[in-house]
Amino acid sequence: MKTDVMTWTFALVLPLLSCEEKVVHRYESENSLYFFKGAEQYNTFVQSDSLTYNFMAKQGDRQRDTIRLRVLAAGFLSDRDREVYLVQINGDNPLAAVGGTHYVPFDDPGVAGSMVIPAGSTRADLPVIVSRDPSLRSQEVRLEVELRENAHFKVVIPELSRFVIKIVDMIAKPANWDFLWQSYLGNWGPEKMRFLADYVGIADFEGTHEATEMLFYRSKAIEKLNEYNSTREEPLTEADGTLVTFPT
Which of 117, 137, 168 is the last residue before a domain boundary? Answer: 168
Tell me, yes or no, whether 101 and 44 share the same domain. Answer: yes
- What domain count does the chain have? 2
Which of 135, 168, 201 is the last residue before a domain boundary? Answer: 168
27 domain-assigned:
no
Q: Are 196 and 185 in contact (CB under 8 A)?
A: yes
The pLDDT score that the predictor gives to residue 22 is 38
Tell me, yes or no, whether 123 and 186 share the same domain. Answer: no
The pLDDT score that the predictor gives to residue 46 is 63
The pLDDT score that the predictor gives to residue 102 is 98
150 domain-assigned:
yes
The pLDDT score that the predictor gives to residue 3 is 43
> 88 lies in which domain range?
32-168
pLDDT tens per residue across span 155-188: 998 989 999 999 998 877 888 899 999 999 999 9
Tell me, yes or no, whether 66 and 147 share the same domain. Answer: yes
pTM: 0.65
CATH number at residue 157: 2.60.40.1740
The pLDDT score that the predictor gives to residue 19 is 41
Can you list the positions of beta strands (E) in 75-217? Answer: 82-83, 85-88, 116-117, 123-131, 141-148, 162-168
The pLDDT score that the predictor gives to residue 10 is 35
102 domain-assigned:
yes
The pLDDT score that the predictor gives to residue 59 is 67
Low-confidence ranges of the chain (pLDDT < 50): 1-28, 42
E strand or H helix that includes residue 56: none
The pLDDT score that the predictor gives to residue 55 is 87
Question: How far apart are alpha carbons 53 and 165 in whole angstroms?
Answer: 7
Burial class for 225, CB neighbours closer than 10 Å (0-12, 13-18, 19+): buried
Tell me, yes or no, whether 139 and 176 share the same domain. Answer: no
Tell me, yes or no, whether 55 and 134 share the same domain. Answer: yes
The three-state secondary structure class of 165 is: strand
